[in-house]
Structure 1
């Protein structure tokens, strides 16, 4: 059986591909977070995992099991942690989970790792986990692990955004459970998208600051920050293909061309 999924391999197959073939390991980092009435709560780890699978068919690479829990949802980018089902980690916990996984990959003999984030709030905790892991590995004498970290949506081109938003792009912060994620869902996991439950509420309007405890009344009751009207499987495929193409190209450049 040929598979790119680490969890489906035997340890012997994994060791051969990791050490002998020097394949890249892809680590999706997501969250379990509400995504409105129409998208599953696993959207933030379903999408990066699917993209990683696509990338692994190009490089090739090994896809590690995703980190399915993320840092606390924030009102201005994820609706907030007050929604039932949103199940979050403290920042320090996420940092240590990322650190420990990377240390294990380094111990296995991995030389190339890509950390793909699918949940905005994870950003700096993932970076801290990477930094701590590399520091600990250096202390253990392991200095040859190279890591590339990114948010997959940063690979969206302006031309694609123009096609997805003919009336203007509202910005990534308000794209929670909106056109981009809904379109991607319709392409990647169509059976889990409750398209009949889409709401057409106006986009959320936030001041340029946060208040603690969170002002939950600022967030639309559905948890969707911007209307998903206009989402389609066609747009989702366009986005997905662009991410796979451009991320594969970036990793090939970092892990192949720069090593020559």
Structure 2
């Protein structure tokens, strides 16, 4: 069945006269995720979360259109990890500029970048493109940083951890190896205190931080946890899609 909010599944007959409130651009990465998760983990999550949130919003009256996922992300800290596919931030900006230009030309002036990869940082790009296309409203959703995520999982982490593993066990269990084959996801911390505290920043050199490419113990992961979190996060995102769809971008602020 064709989902009318997914551009890749739609056709010219339905698209040519359609009106959309906003565009959603899923953006992932192709990289190692511990021993047990597929290289496409970020892409699978980006595509599924974007599609489900759009479905919920669509059924409540919004008109989002989900663009095809961009499968490559910034992996400059993982250049020595075999077949971790890297594109530079400057390349991302060129790709994003062309997408924004196309949307702007066709009168879609609201864009949500649904980011699923921690190495992608779209803030500076959104600033630059916002200046270049002043009638565009560009926002970034880093769904994995939602503050409520820790209520769903026992162990913290940020790569191939309990959250990502649980989500994959729910969404694509056939691609997940048995958890007894997963590494422990141990992370070495920065020696410099200011870097540990976060008010100084330096990119992590992945192979010096983790032996198995994971950060976070995945052993307590279950498909049930993944299902509960997936349902919650997509409802949350759908709510924002609804708000954005109704919003006048010239009147986005209030006291």
Q: Mark yes or no: TM-score above 0.5.
A: yes
- In structure 2, the residue matched to 1:92 is 90
- Residue segments in structure 2 that go unaligned for 5+ positions in a row: 59-63, 196-200
Q: Work out whether residues 81 and 207 of structure 2, in 8 Å CA contact, stay in contact via their aligned partners in 1.
A: no
Which of 145, 153, 169 is the equivalent residue of 1:186? 169
- Does 1:219 find its partner at 2:210? yes
Report the Cα offset of residue 258 of structure 1: 5.4
- In structure 1, the residue matched to 2:115 is 117
How far apart, CA to CA, are the structure 1 residues paired with 2:119 and 2:210? 17
Higher helix share: 1
- Residue segments in structure 1 that go unaligned for 5+ positions in a row: 75-79
Report the Cα offset of residue 201 of structure 1: 2.6
Deviations 1:50-95 (A, max 9, x none): 0011011122221100111111253xxxxx3321120111121112
- In structure 2, the residue matched to 1:77 is none
Deviations 1:201-244 (A, max 9, x none): 36212214588994734321x21122101001011011111111
Q: Work out whether residues 207 and 213 of structure 2, in 8 Å CA contact, stay in contact via their aligned partners in 1.
A: no
How far apart, CA to CA, are the structure 1 residues paired with 2:231 and 2:41? 18
- In structure 2, the residue matched to 1:164 is 153
- In structure 1, the residue matched to 2:218 is 228
* RMSD across aligned positions (CA): 2.5
Which of 184, 190, 198 is the equivalent residue of 2:181? 198
Which of 128, 143, 146 is the equivalent residue of 1:152? 143
Q: Work out whether residues 29 and 115 of structure 1, in 8 Å CA contact, stay in contact via their aligned partners in 2.
A: yes
Give the count of matched residue pairs.
Answer: 236
- Does 1:240 find its partner at 2:223? no
Give the TM-score normalised by structure 2.
0.82
- In structure 1, the residue matched to 2:20 is 22
Change (3 A) 1:50 1:213: closer
Which of 120, 127, 152 is the equivalent residue of 1:131? 127
- In structure 1, the residue matched to 2:61 is none
Which of 30, 38, 41 is the equivalent residue of 1:43? 41
Q: Work out whether residues 161 and 214 of structure 2, in 8 Å CA contact, stay in contact via their aligned partners in 1.
A: yes
Q: Work out whether residues 113 and 147 of structure 1, in 8 Å CA contact, stay in contact via their aligned partners in 2.
A: yes
SS at match of 2:101: helix
